Amino acid sequence: MVGILKSLKAGADLGRKLNVDVDDAVDALGQPIGSLSDLAGMGDNRPPPNMRIDPLESVDYPAGFFPEYRGAAPNRTEPYPRYRPAKTTERMQRLELSIADEDNPINNIFDSYIEKGKVLAGPDWYNTEELRDWMVGSLGEVEGDKQWREYLELVGTTSTGSKVPQNIRFASLYRAIAPEDRIRVAQMVKDEGVTPLAAAKELGVEPANIPDDFNYGHIKQRNQAGNVVNREMGSWERVVPEELTGAPLSKWLQANPKVKGFGNDLLGDDVNIAADMHFMRMLAMSDGGGDFLSAQAKLSGENARIAAEIIGPRKIKKYTSTREVNGKMVSEINLFKAWQDGHIKDTSPFQEIPTAWSDTPKANEYAAYEDMANRVSAKYDMTPAQFQASLWMGAGDITGLADESQGTFMELFRRSLDKRAGERGLTRKEMLNDFIKNKAVLSVPFAIGGAGTYGALPPDNQQLPEG
């Protein structure tokens, strides 16, 4: 825990700076960080924040400008039940005891990153009530609510391994495919590993308004497609099927806990959390125990050399595996097994290497993480989703959060609208109208600086960020 504690001062200093200079801060796209910071250019045209306007008109204002679209959204869903084993893991028990001790430094870590996350609009992150108002205002209450739920659940299904802008785009593609064709397309992606767009073309399905050169591929597309199939087949219902008992019940409860939680949080859920990569890394790095080291650590050349020095140049070969990913060879190091075997006695050299740490809860841990988030979030007067998002945003600088994922969901959704609107010569509002009524697909704005080209499958270092 020593290493992460060293970063607290820097994190606190940054938080204070952001509190003062948030209007001057910009993200990797050169756009202001903070959903309210782009108000300066609106001059006298901006309405008072308490003024109600036509919901469809709010798209031309910054995300979070109107107070009803900030904070926790109304809860419009039911939580997913979780698998609750008789006993969780030793590392989870240790983490729970640490958090329960008010004097444990981990609580200072929470305080620091929660405060920083607040500045970055973490408590607003999951609020999509504005998107619902847009859809209801355009399609009517029943159909608008239905389309809002469908899209956000598809965001959940396609969230595996995705940066948020990619996630927004992938979900828009599957939404553009009629439900009767969606299963066929997703099943082909799952079975054959082709991109969703390639599967659609092979099956004679034509989603609306897709650029000719757009590649809707992703390194986790098979996993995402499987999630889409399961959702469309009814496996994402929130009520436990009565006929399930024993092992089938346990399997049903363990299926897709993160992606279900993510989609549900976007619908306002106040129980479930998305224990995502960055949330997990933050907790793992805060604990610092060897049992939190990754069994599939993807390390840069320099960080791999650090691992080799610790484990031993010859011994590390035993823990290294290589596989082909997207046409390139990727090496992974089982740091957890090396620790188990006694070759890693001090984890502090890995404290600044986020990919060295476990980024996924075990099946018998998820409910415990969720229960912990429910308890601790109350301390900050937040819902569990707000707590998770604030930590996710606040600790992003130590966990490897991509620059293009900074911003609330509605802020990033606006950027996707703008990117596709610019490609088609439309206004943001016109693009929104086409998205809602015609299910037109969206684009993803990658970071400036040659990190990727619009519409192309991102390179490995974007899909699997290295430490």
Q: Would you state the pLDDT for residue 362?
A: 94
Q: Would you state the pLDDT for residue 276?
A: 85
Contacts of 239 (CB under 8 A, 6+ apart): 78
* Of residues 19, 23, 53, 43, the one with CA closest to residue 429: 53
Section 400-415 average pLDDT: 82
d(CA 282, CA 277): 9
Residue where the block lists tokens 């609107």: 421
d(CA 19, CA 119): 6
Helix axes 409-424, 428-438, angle to 10 degrees: 100
Please indicate whether residue 317 or residue 452 has the higher confidence score (pLDDT).
317
Burial of 298 (0-12, 13-18, 19+ CB in 10 A): buried
7: left (phi over 0), alpha (psi -120 to 50) or beta: alpha
Query: Do 383 and 370 form a contact (C-beta atoms < 8 A)?
Result: no
Percentage of the chain beyond pLDDT 90 is 68
Q: Would you state the pLDDT for residue 217?
A: 82
* Of residues 289, 338, 333, 355, the one with CA closest to residue 90: 289
CA atoms within 13 A on the CB side of 301: 0
Helix axes 366-379, 90-100, angle to 10 degrees: 10
- 20-29, 128-137, 304-313, 324-333: the lowest-pLDDT one: 20-29
pLDDT-based confidence at residue 212 (cuts at 50, 70, 90)? low
Q: What is the per-residue DSSP string for 379-413?
A: HTT--HHHHHHHHHHHTHHHHT--GGG-S-HHHHH
Section 409-424 average pLDDT: 95
Q: Would you state the pLDDT for residue 327?
A: 64
Query: Is it the case that residue 35 has pLDDT exceeding 50?
Result: no
d(CA 402, CA 15): 18
Query: Do 11 and 115 form a contact (C-beta atoms < 8 A)?
Result: no
Q: Would you state the pLDDT for residue 41?
A: 41
Distance of CA 293 to the CA centre of its chain: 21
Query: Is it the case that residue 370 has pLDDT exceeding 90?
Result: yes
pTM of the model: 0.83
Section 21-43 average pLDDT: 38
Average pLDDT, the chain: 83
Query: Do 218 and 457 form a contact (C-beta atoms < 8 A)?
Result: yes
Q: Would you state the pLDDT for residue 6?
A: 46
Q: Would you state the pLDDT for residue 277?
A: 85
d(CA 359, CA 354): 9
The residue length of the chain stands at: 467
Query: Is it the case that residue 455 has pLDDT exceeding 80?
Result: no
DSSP-derived 3-state class of residue 296: coil
Query: Is it the case that residue 410 has pLDDT exceeding 50?
Result: yes
Query: Do 144 and 132 form a contact (C-beta atoms < 8 A)?
Result: yes
Query: Do 225 and 190 form a contact (C-beta atoms < 8 A)?
Result: yes
Query: Do 371 and 388 form a contact (C-beta atoms < 8 A)?
Result: no
pLDDT tens digits for 45-85? 455 555 545 677 899 999 999 999 999 999 999 999 999 99
Residue where the block lists tokens 């140049």: 313
pLDDT tens digits for 267-277? 999 999 999 88
d(CA 38, CA 33): 9
Residue type, 377: S
Q: Would you state the pLDDT for residue 453?
A: 24
CA atoms within 13 A on the CB side of 209: 21
* Of residues 249, 217, 161, the one with CA closest to residue 458: 217
